[in-house]
Amino acid sequence: MRPAHAIDLSARRRLLIVRLTGEIDSAAMPDLRAALASASRLSPPTLSLDFTATTYVGLSALGALLVARATAMSADVDVLTPGAPGSFRRLTESTSWTGLIGRPADPAARS
């Protein structure tokens, strides 16, 4: 049986893209965590979590993304989330993490 998701890494100049496809639920978590760990090791200036091809984002993914955001901010990496679906927006809004949606990390907020 084929997984209902795909998670791919690609680089463009100073941008590392984690492309999320399909259902990002608990079954996708091992792949998501591995991709986010690889992205963290590469320490790009900007990390893009591309949701344009997702059909669902679960609560477990939100947790992993919040950890990725905190890790990136501590390393002065900007995090962008193009195409974040409504389900992802609702999850981040319900946890007061709306700053994760489509905005780079604010270096002034870390001081």
For the chain, the domain total comes to 1
Predicted confidence (pLDDT) per residue in 3-37, tens digit: 799 999 999 989 999 999 999 999 999 999 999 99
Q: Which segments of 15-58 does DSSP mark as H helices, in order?
A: 29-42
- Residue numbers of the domain that contains 57: 5-105
Tokens of 101: 């949606």
Q: Where are the beta strands (DSSP E) in 32-92?
A: 46-57, 78-80
What is the reported pTM?
0.75
111 in a domain, yes or no? no
84 in a domain, yes or no? yes
Question: Which pLDDT score, from 0 to 100, does residue 19 have?
Answer: 95
| CATH number for 72 | 3.30.750.24
